């Protein structure tokens, strides 16, 4: 009988009573769907359609052995060295983490929590406001222009930091390196974070500016252009003082964020420049063809510097097209909010065959 009373007591008093006030106030980030269905054309989460470098796979296989009983290098010196060599910086300017999302999380806590508001676009990576809620960071969104671009002049106001992706997500629009430098010249009292998850598909990295601007932090991921989304590796490059702040947070949270497989595979991927360049080139060529074919079907496609395109049709809503594509086993991403982007679909650039299947399906839908 007491056991029954306990069950009733638990039902009548939900377990969320144990939550902290922070958790009650959170609106978590919603990741892209990872369907378990077979034979899908999966164009919704911006994964690279081409596999990892064979050298990266070989390096990870070599890690299988007795050494797995030992902790990995907490500093990931091998990986930092490979990243530094690729970008032409010093290892002391490199921070690594468990995916760029963890690097971003540490950045919000270490460098972006100040009295002034953090500035970022009103249409951008939706994890930014989530981190603000988690870490108690005051923020202010800056509206994109009518054509969904970032205007540097809009960020010339007092702030506690600035962050935006370049190319922006989910729009794919690219801000030139000259414009980023123009922002850095007038914003010297707070950190400027450029989130370059997609920069390798047509943009010029701001890493070239870090030695001239100590307030600049550039964040990269190996999930997109190096085809290692399943490995979870990201990194930041900036002045050693910024990197030291990130390390202080990391070592207060998790001293071993990257395992032996991640360190070995990521280092080999950074070193295999030929494979990296070729896969990026193939994605860019396919993107150009996809844009032309979408425009021929009556879509407006925003200029993209990423491995995805952002497109809307004059006569069909994005939600409608997304649902009808799903009926044909083709998955793309649709965002209900904010209202300005509800008509759009975000379409990952897949293989030529996957993009051809998408176009064929859209022709059928539009003709019906």
Residue 228 has pLDDT above 70, yes or no: yes
- For residues 200-204, average pLDDT: 96
DSSP state of 333: B
- Higher pLDDT: 26 or 317? It is 317
pTM, whole model, 2 decimals? 0.92
> What is the signed CA dihedral for 199, 205, 206, 209, rounded to 10 degrees?
170
Axis-axis angle for helices 240-250, 99-111 (nearest 10)? 100
pLDDT at 50: 97
What is the spatial distance between Cα 119 and Cα 197, in angstroms, rounded to a whole number?
19
List of E strands, the chain: 41-42, 94-97, 118-121, 139-142, 161-165, 192-195, 216-221, 234-238, 299-301, 308-313, 330-331, 344-348
- Higher pLDDT: 31 or 242? It is 242
Q: Cis omega before residue 243 (within 30°)? A: no
What is the spatial distance between Cα 108 and Cα 273, in angstroms, rounded to a whole number?
31
List, for residues 245-255, the tens digit of each pLDDT value: 999 999 999 99
95 forms bridges with which residues in the sheet? Answer: 236
Say which residues have a Cβ less than 8 Å from residue 131's Cβ, sequence separation at least 6.
104, 105, 108, 137
Domain 41-50+274-367's class? alpha beta
Residue 94 has pLDDT above 80, yes or no: yes
Q: Name the residue among 222, 209, 195, 206 with its Cα closest to residue 79.
A: 222
Q: Name the residue among 265, 274, 219, 225 with its Cα closest to residue 106.
A: 219
- For residues 252-267, average pLDDT: 96
Q: Write down the domain spans for the chain.
A: 41-50+274-367, 54-271
Domain 54-271's class? alpha beta
Tokens linked to 246 = 């990130």
List, for residues 159-196, the tens digit of each pLDDT value: 999 999 999 999 999 999 999 999 999 999 999 999 99
- For residues 115-129, average pLDDT: 96
- 7 pLDDT tier (thresholds 50, 70, 90): low
pLDDT at 21: 83
């Amino acid at each position: 009988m007491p056991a029954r009373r306990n069950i009733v007591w638990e039902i009548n008093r939900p377990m969320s009573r144990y939550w902290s006030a922070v958790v009650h106030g959170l609106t978590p980030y919603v990741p892209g769907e990872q369907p378990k269905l077979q034979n899908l054309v999966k164009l919704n989460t911006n994964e690279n359609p081409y596999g990892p470098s064979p050298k990266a796979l070989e390096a990870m296989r070599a890690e299988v052995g007795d050494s797995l009983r030992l902790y990995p290098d907490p500093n990931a010196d091998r990986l930092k060295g490979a990243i530094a060599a690729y970008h032409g910086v010093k290892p002391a300017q490199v921070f690594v983490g468990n995916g760029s999302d963890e690097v971003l999380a540490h950045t919000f806590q270490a460098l972006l929590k100040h009295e002034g508001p953090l500035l970022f676009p009103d249409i951008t990576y939706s994890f930014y406001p989530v981190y603000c809620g988690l870490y108690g960071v005051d923020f202010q969104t800056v509206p994109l222009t009518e054509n969904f671009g970032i205007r540097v002049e809009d960020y010339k106001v007092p702030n506690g930091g600035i962050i935006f992706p370049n190319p922006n997500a989910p729009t794919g629009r690219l801000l030139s390196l000259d414009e980023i430098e123009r922002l850095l010249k007038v914003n010297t009292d707070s950190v400027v974070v450029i989130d370059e998850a997609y920069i390798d598909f047509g943009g010029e990295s701001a890493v070239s500016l870090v030695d001239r601007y100590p307030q600049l932090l550039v964040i990269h991921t190996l999930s997109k252009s190096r085809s290692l989304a399943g490995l979870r590796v990201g990194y930041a490059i900036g002045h050693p003082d910024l990197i030291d702040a990130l390390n202080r947070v990391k070592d207060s949270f998790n001293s071993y964020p990257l395992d032996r497989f991640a360190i070995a595979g990521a280092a080999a991927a950074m070193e295999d420049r030929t494979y990296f360049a070729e896969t990026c080139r193939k994605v860019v060529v396919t993107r150009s063809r996809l844009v032309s074919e979408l425009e021929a079907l009556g879509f407006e496609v925003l200029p993209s510097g990423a491995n995805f395109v952002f497109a809307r049709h004059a006569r069909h809503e994005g939600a409608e097209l997304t649902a009808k594509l799903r009926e044909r086993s083709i998955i793309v991403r649709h965002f209900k909010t904010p209202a300005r982007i509800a008509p759009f679909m975000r379409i990952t650039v897949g293989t030529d065959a996957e993009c051809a299947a998408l176009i064929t399906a859209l022709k059928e839908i539009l003709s019906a």
